[in-house]
């Protein structure tokens, strides 16, 4: 029963994915500039025949609808195409970049949650106190500080001056764990490689703080406001009336019910992190999807951008699906797929 | 009564005056209550100061924002240039003041357009439901599932540089949030009994949406709007980082932070001062927004 | 004396388009033009969008740059100035220039070619299809511990001779997002070549000042302008122990010449080989290259074609080869991700490299780590933090950031790229040569170079570069002379005036 | 009884709500489209100047019936005739005095809309509004206040004024007093009574408070799961409840001074109006259930000797 | 109904509660004295906002944020509630005193299963919480198929069933006193009757004392032993149900009774005029003054204390004054 509902909700994502696919396809082709021309760069003595040959090699000379149809067919078969700018299979490129991005996004969101959850609860419980006001001010700071600026400041403080943490990259040479999943932290645990684990965690700290600052601020505010709301609910008073200890009332009764909006926002933020962290990836030399995709746009690498956006859309849809399932766990009254 | 004027017109005028008075009174009361909220007052003071400074920028600062003194590059703050000079020898303070205009306009206009578009579509979708709603909701989901930056970069590539193009690029996804808010608001309001009462009275759908429901859902839109103003300004900075955005002659805080951050090692003031002022403005706008919310809509729990 | 024209001309308003990296310069130029009453404004674009726009003829002035790989006007003057060429963004068309350039291409005698190029420079100097700009120096920073390192003119990093005090490992922060591949047959950008050239060697290479010298080849002859016979050095080994001989050389070029020759795709390098018709093995250590028509820069071109091992590539396939490349260069590929970091180790059996380019022998460090660090501020920070030894591609204006650091040195060398501002010659007002000359006089390049580019650039008199073949050093760049500019513009009917100060 | 055309008459009135389960749920789980038969064949009439009380448990369809009658919902089947015509012309008073007034409008605006819809010219609206306010016991001072500045009872008065502004012949009052305190409740009930005496307006008074219905109605209809089960003049219904459900309902009323020990206890809880059982709706909780109750819907039976007292019950049909 | 014992389980003396709001203090309770004996059911009636809930919440020390007990004492079963904190308070809440709220839908936590919510209460008070204990409790409050219900979430139950669950939780720790704050207001008449039956049965079987807050005088009359009528944060009249409802002494009580439709045709309703007193104002004298027919100027000046009227207590200036005589005449207007 529940499974069917979830399945149904998952199927509802199909038209969205199709929409994403078509939108990005058309969108890329609306951009001025020619991928072959960009690929050839400054090469001199290029003949028109050479250009035409390349164009037809990448099926760029077909009419648009034919290209779209064949692209959709290939996607259905699981083939995301060939990246002109990186001379490689798009699927392979994405598989390499995705773990890096996901690892960073998860670390960022974990840091964000680690800050936001306690802070959100405390500020709600101590409503209008000094700690409440000052953390609200901090949260505005988090929202209004550009990530690249925060990033470079962190690097200057923690890497250049204090020399505590590395400036950039995912791992020090020689400490890259052997490839299992592509997630360095996970791989080093799986292979029992302790130095590598320490190293990859050290590399994660700064970028995930830079990336997590804004979501932390947003989630803190959301948790605070929904906690304020649930703390006023009858069932919270009732839990106290049953003699339940105050901390248990706050965690078990208020917080759990306050989580729903936080889940929604966290889901959206994760979605945002997966697609919008190009800036942080550049600053921290992080080989992820953001750089891949922005580079793809600049070089009009159609298949690459299309593939990346599809993956992004898929992650987004999945994250939302998980959020949906979480809702029903948090509030059994809700039916999967019905938005709060 | 003016001679020749119909009774109806005079009544209308009287009513209008009365309404104005009432409106002024209620606005006065609101302001008074807002005045009791200390942080809102502080926020309002800062916002006003920044806006005034932006408007009066040419009078305040002795320099022109695009006047280069290449020999004065990287003059540190405190000397001839109060907040220092940038890498092209332009006065940072002057540029911050002039930048305020564009930054605030970018924030205001994008948010205004987003609220308007999102609001109107959200109200329609929420009120009529059905195919329109399904279509719009799906569309917004597609947009949400589409990485924002990709669109912004692409749009700027397609449209070319320029203030309005930037505004369009920022609005593209900005309206979605307001659409959702408005739609949720309408869904909650439209089953309320005052809407039914209006229907029984025979009010048209347009009247109901515009006069009955809209005033009740507009507050959350405005509150979130104030928050998003800051986000938009930061977003503009990120686009500058990627090398697209507003023409360089027009200083914006975002592009100033971006230009300056490369020199943070030897000239920290280039990016730090615009950064501080950006945070100050966003913080103040939100303090005012929060204060307004508490006065207008104590039940509203948007963050 | 010419009569002072009436001050009733129209105002001249100009939009200067550029990419973000030249934003400051564009602002400065615009500001100088505003100084003499021109309404000038700069706009930043994304490159492809800007290109699409100006190729449509929709823009007025656009900042572009173009590099020469061959140290020869062949791949600079021709694509930029010959009628209808791919890089001729200003739509310049002068039959005389076209004729001279085509003569210079086919001429085999360097003196003749030089004379022809001088003539071209004189013509375009007067025609000014561009606001002639400057040649930016290649700048990089390194830790003071690094020895034997020089910035290379063609922006490549040769690590054969480099040492690092106290360690055998050198870490280099590259200013790029990614390299494209480790397969020498399957890329077309300079950044990829930087890494590949440390793993693979070519038949010939260049000295620091651009002269072509033998590397894998022992020597070569040119019996006639369309035939090149290369003698290959004996005893060279690939990293897997395989011996390098004529078969490998032939194979290397055939997989590029052949349609769909690499993993089902045609090599993007094909065009670089120009009129190369065939590569034939004479004996185990001689190979004959036959061209369709004379191509004097052919040896220069060959610097960029690294030799791959035939047996190994056929065995593991093109994809396998790109995964685990094997070359005959000073370093072996160890591991890495193209968008993260690439690690190389010393090849002990290295034949030593070009004998004309001492020192000869195996590389002096044992490990190389190339890290992709696209953000310049991060590279500088990492260098300061001691995480990398060389920060590649230092924007000249950021050199100051390192000036106070005793552990870092900044070095630069004249580059091979020409920077200018091109006019759209097909539309008024820039169809008028006076206007173009005026703008060449109106811009104070020296100040711009001294400040924005920290002095790390050379003024150019035309579109030719000093490090390249056939540059006329006697031709002096347009002088900064606002009065002259005003005069010319007034003659062209525009209302401009000198600043009143 | 002499034949008149009633002010409002419903004929076989039905209003269903449909909910479609998702595609997969239908295919894999065999879930069917669910029909909530909120109102399922109701024939009632309301005379000029009469108050018809409508009682029943929560969810039995009282509000839905009221809304169909004023035209808020279109009927799924059947008709509502207003003096023989089909254009709706009733007004409504709502239960929730907080939700039924737009919090952003002043009283002037609220009444203004009604007056505008009635076609009162602009210059007369103010006077008319003042008259209305005075009629419902408020003063002109209140004209420019917002609903939040009023107490619940005052808001309900504004609601009444808003309805009155249209000069309706029928007002559907959906639980007009259940959210109010007893003292205020009495004020509003008296107000409605006075209005009726003055203007001859008819009321459909929906309430689950039987005391209120008894006090204020001329006739009462008892509803159970979308159907009327009994209708009679007030006195006759309360003295002689004939349907087992009505009997149980009446016995459950707490009365001042009564002990409540003699109640008829209903078994089970209210079944839902989603796909109700065939036959008599009340069979699942009825102490007198017979075989026929599961098979056939009961037909209306008029109680002998009690004109206008009609009951839908097989028990009565078999007795008579 | 069980006969009440002598021992006091609840004794409130001079309770004053104040909400310190932005718009000034709201004095929600202004000196309430109330005592409840073992096995007794006491009704607390009055209009909305008169401080009934505030009184009950004070007993549990559960006043929401700006609310504060400013004066008075509360003793439950001999312990001084106001002196409790931490563990003692926890033991009181749900242990000695249990509470039942108005709207079961919003009072049961929507995110937890019924079983878990019941268990929690037992665990907190260190009582065994095995499945069979829970099942027995549910059976006791008349829930069919309790085994299944344990695994349900609140929304899967009807309002009546939810209220039964709440009562089961309240019973679970064998409290001496149940505070029921309008437990039936949200329910249908038929269900209301069932719930009241249940409470009465508990009172009878276990001897648990109950304080029932209600708007509905009729409910109070059927259910309680004693009744206290509150107005504007004060008890204005208190006595046995029979006495108070059949011969109301205080004008407010009489007014309330006059407002109730009485199932007798032709008896007009006589509403109390005006509106409920505003608790944020300071009432020196009698707060009912503006609405009272019998008021004299003196009523405004001082506040009368509760007077002993023989069978009950009443707080009215005019009580015992000769003109008050017409009260006696009015006594018949009470209900029979
Ligand atoms: N708009 C709607 N959509 C779907 N179902 C509805 C709708 N309105 C009412 N229903 C359903 O119709 C049935 C009757 O509802 P209605 O509101 O008419 O009951 P009611 O008798 O007024 O109850 P109450 O006394 O609680 O107000 C209920 O089962 C309800 O769930
Ligand atoms: N959180 C609060 N802040 C300010 N005032 C409050 C608050 N809670 C209650 N009050 C005020 O305290 C007074 C007493 O409230 P209380 O809830 O005890 O009334 P009640 O008799 O239980 O009413 P009801 O019958 O509506 O439940 C009311 O006038 C109310 O306005
Ligand atoms: Mg209803
Ligand atoms: Mg209460």
DSSP secondary structure of E186-247: TS-HHHHHHHHHHHHHHHHHH--EEEEEES-HHHHHHH-SEEEEEETTEEEEEEEHHHHHHS
Of A263-277, B215-229, D70-84, D277-291, where does the model show the most confidence?
Answer: D70-84
pLDDT at C369: 92
Q: Where are the domains positioned within chain E? A: 1-39+51-83+213-336
Tell me the average pLDDT across C20-48: 86
* B238 or C125, higher pLDDT: C125
- Alpha carbon distance E21, E325 (integer Å): 42
Tell me the average pLDDT across E72-90: 87
Tell me the average pLDDT across C220-231: 89
Give chain B's domains with CATH numbers. 36-300 (1.10.3720.10)
> Strand, helix or coil at A305?
helix
Tell me the average pLDDT across A214-235: 86
pLDDT at A340: 38
Q: Where are the domains positioned within chain A? A: 89-155+211-336
Asked if D185's CB is within 8 angstroms of E276's CB, the reply is no
Tell me the average pLDDT across A313-332: 83
Give the position of tokens 């950006």.
Answer: B278
Burial class (CB in 10 A: 0-12, 13-18, 19+), E43: buried
Q: Kindly state the percentage of chain E with pLDDT values over 70.
A: 92
Ligand 1 site residues (CB inside 6 A) read D 17, 36, 38, 56, 58-64, 208, 272-273
Ligand 4 centroid to Cα of residue A255, in Å, is 25
> What angle is formed at CA C262 by the lines to CA A57 and CA A37, rounded to 5 degrees?
40
Q: Kindly state the percentage of chain B with pLDDT values over 90.
A: 10
Q: Which residues of D touch E142 (CB under 8 A)?
A: none
Strands E209-214 and E41-45: parallel
> Strand, helix or coil at D200?
coil
Mutation site, A4, A14, A337, A338, interface D, largest D CB count within 10 A: A4
CB of E234 shorter than 6 A to ligand 2: no
Chain B positions with Cβ closer than 8 Å to C: 66-68, 70-71, 73-74, 87-89, 153, 156-158, 160-162, 242-245, 247-249, 259, 261-266
pLDDT at D52: 94
Phi, psi torsion values for A136, nearest 5 degrees: -65, -40
Q: Kindly state the percentage of chain A with pLDDT values over 90.
A: 5
Mean pLDDT rounded to a whole number for chain C: 86
pLDDT at D263: 65
| Nearest-by-Cβ selection for C378 from A53, A170, A283 | A283
| A327 pLDDT higher than 60 | yes
| C400 pLDDT higher than 70 | yes
Residue nearest to atom 24 of ligand 2 (CA): E48
pLDDT at D211: 87
pTM comes to: 0.84
Of B249-258, C169-178, E254-263, where does the model show the most confidence?
Answer: C169-178
Q: Which residues of A touch C86 (CB under 8 A)?
A: 40, 43-44, 46
Q: Where are the domains positioned within chain D? A: 8-89+168-319
Asked if E62's CB is within 8 angstroms of A235's CB, the reply is no
Mutation site, D69, D71, D123, D156, interface B, largest B CB count within 10 A: D123
Contact A44, C74 (CB under 8 A): yes
| B12 pLDDT higher than 70 | no
| Nearest-by-Cβ selection for A173 from C47, C66, C341 | C341
Q: Which ligand is nearest to the CA of E230?
A: 2
| E329 pLDDT higher than 50 | no
Tell me the average pLDDT across E45-64: 88
Phi, psi torsion values for B214, nearest 5 degrees: -50, -50
Write down the CATH superfamily of domain E1-39+51-83+213-336: P-loop containing nucleotide triphosphate hydrolases (3.40.50.300)
Tell me whether 0.85 is exceeded by the ipTM. Answer: no
pLDDT at E326: 47
pLDDT at A95: 87
Residue B180 structure tokens: 């959702």
| A304 pLDDT higher than 50 | yes
Tell me the average pLDDT across C243-250: 89
| B173 pLDDT higher than 60 | yes
CATH of domain D8-89+168-319: 3.40.50.300
CATH of domain A89-155+211-336: 1.10.3720.10
Ligand 3 centroid to Cα of residue E169, in Å, is 30
- Could you tell me if C482 lies within 8 Å of chain B, comparing CB atoms? no
Tell me the average pLDDT across A251-260: 87
Band of pLDDT at residue C501, cut at 50, 70 and 90? low
Residue nearest to atom 5 of ligand 1 (CA): D17
Residues in chain B: 303
| B116 pLDDT higher than 90 | yes
Burial class (CB in 10 A: 0-12, 13-18, 19+), C269: buried
Mean pLDDT rounded to a whole number for chain B: 81
Indicate the DSSP class of residue D123. Answer: H
pLDDT at D319: 64
pLDDT at E314: 81
CB of E101 shorter than 6 A to ligand 2: no
Q: Which residues of B touch A17 (CB under 8 A)?
A: 145
pLDDT at C105: 80
Residue D295 structure tokens: 């098979």
* B243 or E101, higher pLDDT: E101
pLDDT at C340: 87
pLDDT in tens, chain D (320 residues): 445 678 899 999 999 988 776 666 677 766 677 788 889 889 999 998 899 999 988 888 899 999 999 988 999 999 898 888 888 888 999 888 888 898 888 888 899 988 988 888 888 888 889 888 888 888 887 888 888 888 788 888 899 899 888 889 999 999 888 878 888 888 888 889 998 998 889 999 998 888 889 999 999 999 998 899 999 999 999 888 989 999 888 888 877 766 656 666 676 666 677 777 788 888 888 888 888 888 888 888 888 888 889 999 888 777 65
Residue nearest to atom 17 of ligand 1 (CA): D63
Which residues surround the ion ligand 4 when the cut-off is CB under 5 Å?
Answer: E 53
| B247 pLDDT higher than 70 | no
Mutation site, E107, E154, E165, interface A, largest A CB count within 10 A: E107
In this predicted model, what pLDDT tens digit does every residue of E137-158 receive, in sequence order? 888 888 888 888 888 888 888 8
In this predicted model, what pLDDT tens digit does every residue of C442-472 receive, in sequence order? 998 998 888 888 888 889 888 888 888 888 8
Atom of ligand 2 lying closest to residue E52 CA = 21
Q: How many CB atoms lie within 10 A of CB C227?
A: 12
For D88, what's the count of Cα atoms within 13 Å in the CB-facing half-sphere? Answer: 22
> Strand, helix or coil at D171?
strand
Asked if A235's CB is within 8 angstroms of E110's CB, the reply is yes
Give the position of tokens 């100084």.
Answer: C35
* A333 or A225, higher pLDDT: A225
Contact A9, A322 (CB under 8 A): no
| Nearest-by-Cβ selection for B158 from A30, A149, A224 | A30
Residue B126: closest CA among B173, B172, B178: B178
- Alpha carbon distance B223, B285 (integer Å): 10
| E285 pLDDT higher than 60 | yes
Distance set, CA E238 to CA A149, A309, E316 (Å): 71, 74, 12
CB of E85 shorter than 6 A to ligand 2: no
pLDDT at B95: 86
- Alpha carbon distance E60, E67 (integer Å): 13
């Amino acid at each position: 029963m529940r499974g069917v509902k979830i399945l149904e909700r998952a199927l509802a994502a199909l038209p969205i994915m199709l929409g994403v696919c078509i939108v990005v396809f058309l969108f890329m082709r609306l951009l001025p500039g020619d991928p072959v021309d960009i690929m050839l760069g400054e090469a001199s003595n290029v003949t028109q025949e050479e250009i035409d040959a390349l164009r037809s090699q990448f099926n760029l000379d077909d009419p648009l609808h034919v290209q779209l149809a064949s692209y959709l067919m290939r996607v259905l078969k699981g083939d995301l195409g060939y990246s002109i700018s990186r001379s490689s299979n798009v699927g392979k490129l994405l598989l390499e970049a995705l773990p890096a991005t996901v690892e960073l996004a998860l670390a960022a969101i974990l840091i964000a949650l680690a800050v936001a959850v306690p802070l959100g609860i405390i500020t709600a419980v101590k409503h209008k106190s000094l700690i409440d006001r000052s953390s609200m001010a901090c949260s505005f700071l988090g929202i209004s500080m550009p990530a690249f600026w925060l990033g470079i400041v962190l690097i200057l403080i923690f890497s250049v001056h204090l020399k505590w943490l590395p400036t950039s990259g995912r791992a020090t040479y020689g400490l890259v764990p052997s490839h299992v999943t592509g997630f360095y932290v996970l791989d080093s645990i799986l292979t029992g490689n302790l130095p590598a684990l320490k190293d990859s965690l050290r590399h994660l700290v700064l970028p995930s703080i830079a990336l997590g600052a804004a979501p932390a601020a947003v989630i803190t505010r959301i948790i605070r406001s929904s906690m304020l709301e649930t703390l006023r609910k009858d069932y919270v008073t009732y839990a106290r009336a049953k003699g339940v200890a105050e901390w248990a009332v706050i965690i078990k009764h208020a917080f759990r019910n306050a989580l729903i909006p936080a889940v929604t926002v966290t889901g959206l933020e994760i979605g945002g992190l997966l697609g919008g962290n190009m800036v942080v990836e550049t600053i921290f030399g992080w080989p992820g999807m953001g750089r891949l995709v922005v580079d793809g746009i600049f070089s009009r690498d159609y298949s690459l951008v299309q593939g990346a956006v599809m993956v992004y859309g898929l992650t987004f849809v999945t994250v939302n699906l998980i959020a949906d399932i979480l809702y029903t766990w948090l509030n059994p009254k809700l039916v999967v797929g019905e938005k709060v | 009564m003016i001679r020749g004027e119909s009774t109806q017109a005079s009544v209308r005028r009287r009513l209008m005056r009365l309404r104005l008075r009432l409106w002024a009174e209620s606005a006065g009361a609101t302001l008074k209550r807002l005045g009791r909220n200390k942080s809102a007052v502080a926020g309002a003071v800062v916002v006003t100061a920044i806006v005034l400074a932006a408007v009066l920028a040419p009078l305040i600062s002795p320099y022109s924002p695009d006047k280069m003194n290449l020999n004065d590059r990287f003059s540190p703050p405190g000397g001839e240039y109060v907040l220092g000079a940038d890498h092209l020898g332009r006065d940072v303070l002057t540029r911050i003041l002039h930048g305020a205009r564009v930054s605030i306009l970018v924030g205001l206009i994008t948010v205004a357009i987003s609220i308007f578009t999102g609001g109107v579509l959200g109200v329609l979708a929420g009120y009529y439901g059905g195919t329109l709603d399904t279509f719009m909701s799906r569309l917004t989901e597609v947009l949400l599932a589409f990485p924002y930056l990709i669109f912004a970069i692409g749009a700027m590539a397609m449209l070319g540089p320029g203030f309005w193009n930037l505004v369009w690029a920022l609005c593209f996804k900005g309206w979605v949030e307001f659409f959702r808010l408005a739609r949720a608001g309408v869904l909650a309001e439209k089953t309320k009994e005052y809407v039914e009462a209006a229907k029984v009275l025979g009010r048209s759908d347009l009247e109901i949406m515009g006069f009955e429901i809209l005033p009740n859902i507009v507050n959350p839109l405005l509150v979130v709007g104030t928050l998003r103003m800051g986000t938009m300004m930061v977003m503009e900075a990120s686009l500058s980082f990627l090398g697209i955005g507003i023409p360089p002659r027009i200083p914006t805080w975002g592009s100033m932070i971006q230009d300056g951050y490369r020199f943070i090692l030897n000239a920290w003031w280039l990016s730090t001062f615009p950064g501080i002022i950006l945070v100050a403005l966003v913080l103040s706008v939100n303090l005012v927004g929060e204060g307004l919310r508490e006065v207008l809509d104590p039940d509203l729990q948007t963050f | 004396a010419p009569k002072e024209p009436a001050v009733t001309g129209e105002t001249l308003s100009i939009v200067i388009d550029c990419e973000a990296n030249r934003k400051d310069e564009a602002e400065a130029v615009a500001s100088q033009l505003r100084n003499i009453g021109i309404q000038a404004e700069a706009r930043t674009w994304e490159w492809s969008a800007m290109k699409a726009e100006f190729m449509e003829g929709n823009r007025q002035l656009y900042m572009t740059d173009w590099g020469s790989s061959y140290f020869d006007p062949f791949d600079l003057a021709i694509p930029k100035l010959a009628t209808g060429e791919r890089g001729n963004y200003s739509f310049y068309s002068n039959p005389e220039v076209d004729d001279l350039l085509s003569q210079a291409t086919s001429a085999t005698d360097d003196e003749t070619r030089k004379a022809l190029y001088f003539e071209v420079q004189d013509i375009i100097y007067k025609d000014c299809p561009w606001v002639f700009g400057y040649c930016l120096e290649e700048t990089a920073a390194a830790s003071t511990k690094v020895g034997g390192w020089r910035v290379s003119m063609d922006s490549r990093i040769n690590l054969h001779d480099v040492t690092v005090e106290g360690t055998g490992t050198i870490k280099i922060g590259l200013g790029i997002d990614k390299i494209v591949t480790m397969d020498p047959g399957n890329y077309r950008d300079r950044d990829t070549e930087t890494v590949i050239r440390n793993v693979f060697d070519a038949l010939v290479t260049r000295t620091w000042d651009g002269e072509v010298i033998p590397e894998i080849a022992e020597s070569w002859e040119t019996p006639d302008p369309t035939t090149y016979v290369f003698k290959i050095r004996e005893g060279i080994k690939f990293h897997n122990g395989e011996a390098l001989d004529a078969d490998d050389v032939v194979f290397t070029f055939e997989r590029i010449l052949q349609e769909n020759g690499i993993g089902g795709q045609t090599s993007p390098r094909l065009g670089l080989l120009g009129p190369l018709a065939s590569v034939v093995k004479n004996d185990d250590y001689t190979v004959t290259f036959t061209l369709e028509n004379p191509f004097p820069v052919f040896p220069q071109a060959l610097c960029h074609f690294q030799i791959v091992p035939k047996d190994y590539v056929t065995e593991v396939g093109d994809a396998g080869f790109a995964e685990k490349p094997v070359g005959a260069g000073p370093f072996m590929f160890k591991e890495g991700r193209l968008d993260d970091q690439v690690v190389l180790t010393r090849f002990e059996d290295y034949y030593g490299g070009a004998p004309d380019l001492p020192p000869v022998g195996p590389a002096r460090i044992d490990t190389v780590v190339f890290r992709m660090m696209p953000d310049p501020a991060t590279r500088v920070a990492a260098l300061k933090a001691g995480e990398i030894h060389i920060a590649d591609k230092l924007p000249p204006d950021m050199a100051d950031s390192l000036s106070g650091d005793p552990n870092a040195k900044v070095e630069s060398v004249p580059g091979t790229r020409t920077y200018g501002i091109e006019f759209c010659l097909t539309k008024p007002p820039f169809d008028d040569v006076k206007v173009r000359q005026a703008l060449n006089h109106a811009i104070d390049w020296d100040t711009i170079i001294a400040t924005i580019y920290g002095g790390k650039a050379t003024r150019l008199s035309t579109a030719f570069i000093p490090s390249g073949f056939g540059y006329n050093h006697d031709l002096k760049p347009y002088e900064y002379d606002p009065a002259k500019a005003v005069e010319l513009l007034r003659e062209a009917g525009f209302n401009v005036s000198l600043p009143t100060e | 009884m002499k034949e008149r055309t009633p002010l409002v008459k419903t004929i076989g009135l039905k209003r269903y709500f449909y909910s479609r389960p998702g595609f997969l749920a239908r295919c894999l789980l065999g879930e069917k489209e669910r029909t909530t038969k909120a109102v399922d064949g109701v024939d009632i009439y309301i005379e000029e100047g009469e108050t018809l009380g409508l009682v029943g448990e929560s969810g039995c369809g009282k509000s839905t019936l009221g809304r169909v009658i004023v035209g808020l919902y279109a009927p799924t089947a059947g008709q509502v005739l207003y003096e023989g015509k089909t254009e709706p012309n009733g007004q409504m008073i709502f239960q929730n005095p907080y939700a039924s007034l737009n919090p952003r409008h002043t009283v002037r605006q609220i009444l203004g809309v009604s007056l505008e819809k009635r076609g009162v010219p602009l210059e007369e609206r103010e006077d008319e509004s003042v008259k209305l306010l005075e009629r419902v016991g408020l003063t002109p001072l209140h004209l420019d206040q917002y609903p939040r500045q009023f107490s619940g009872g005052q808001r309900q008065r504004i609601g009444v004024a808003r309805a009155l502004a249209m000069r309706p012949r029928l007002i559907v009052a959906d639980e007009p007093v259940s959210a109010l305190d007893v003292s205020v409740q009495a004020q509003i009930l008296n107000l409605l009574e006075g209005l009726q005496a003055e203007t001859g307006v008819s009321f459909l008074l929906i309430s689950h408070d039987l005391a209120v219905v008894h006090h204020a109605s001329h006739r009462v209809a008892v509803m159970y799961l979308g159907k009327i089960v009994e209708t009679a003049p007030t006195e006759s219904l309360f003295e002689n409840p004939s349907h087992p459900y009505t009997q149980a309902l009446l016995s459950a009323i707490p009365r001042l001074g009564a002990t409540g020990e003699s109640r008829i206890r209903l078994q089970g809880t209210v079944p839902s109006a989603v796909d109700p059982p065939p036959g008599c709706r009340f069979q699942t909780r009825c102490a007198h259930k017979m075989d026929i109750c599961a098979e056939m819907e009961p037909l209306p039976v008029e109680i002998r000797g009690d004109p206008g007292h009609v009951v839908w019950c097989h028990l009565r049909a078999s007795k008579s | 109904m069980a006969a009440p014992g002598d021992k006091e389980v609840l004794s409130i003396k001079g309770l004053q509660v104040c909400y310190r709001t932005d718009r000034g203090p709201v004095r929600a309770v202004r000196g309430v004295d109330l005592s409840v004996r073992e096995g007794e059911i006491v009704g607390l009636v009055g209009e909305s906002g008169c401080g009934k809930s505030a009184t009950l919440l004070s007993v549990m020390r559960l006043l929401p944020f700006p609310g504060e007990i400013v004066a008075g004492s509360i003793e439950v079963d001999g312990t001084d509630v106001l002196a409790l904190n931490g563990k003692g308070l926890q033991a009181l809440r749900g242990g000695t005193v249990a509470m039942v709220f108005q709207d079961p839908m919003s009072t049961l936590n929507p995110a937890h299963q019924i079983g878990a919510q019941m268990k929690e209460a037992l665990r907190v008070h260190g009582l065994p919480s095995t499945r069979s204990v829970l099942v027995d409790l549910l059976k006791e409050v008349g829930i069919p198929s309790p085994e299944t219900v344990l695994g349900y979430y609140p929304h899967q139950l009807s309002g009546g069933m939810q209220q039964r669950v709440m009562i089961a939780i309240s019973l679970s720790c064998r409290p001496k006193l149940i505070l029921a704050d309008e437990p039936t207001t949200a329910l249908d008449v038929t269900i209301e009757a069932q719930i009241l039956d249940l409470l009465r049965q508990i009172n009878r079987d276990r001897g648990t004392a109950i304080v029932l807050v209600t708007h509905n005088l009729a409910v109070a009359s059927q259910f309680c032993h004693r009744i206290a009528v509150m107005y504007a944060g004060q008890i204005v009249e208190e006595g046995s149900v029979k006495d108070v409802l059949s011969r109301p002494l205080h004008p407010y009580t009489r007014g309330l009774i006059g407002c109730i439709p009485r199932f007798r045709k032709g008896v007009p309703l006589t509403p109390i005029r005006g509106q409920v007193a505003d608790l944020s104002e300071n009432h020196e004298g009698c707060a009912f003054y503006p609405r009272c027919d019998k008021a004299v100027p003196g009523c405004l000046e001082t506040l009368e204390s509760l007077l002993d009227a023989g069978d009950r207590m009443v707080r009215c200036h005019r009580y015992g004054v000769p003109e008050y005589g017409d009260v006696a005449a009015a006594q018949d207007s009470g209900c029979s």
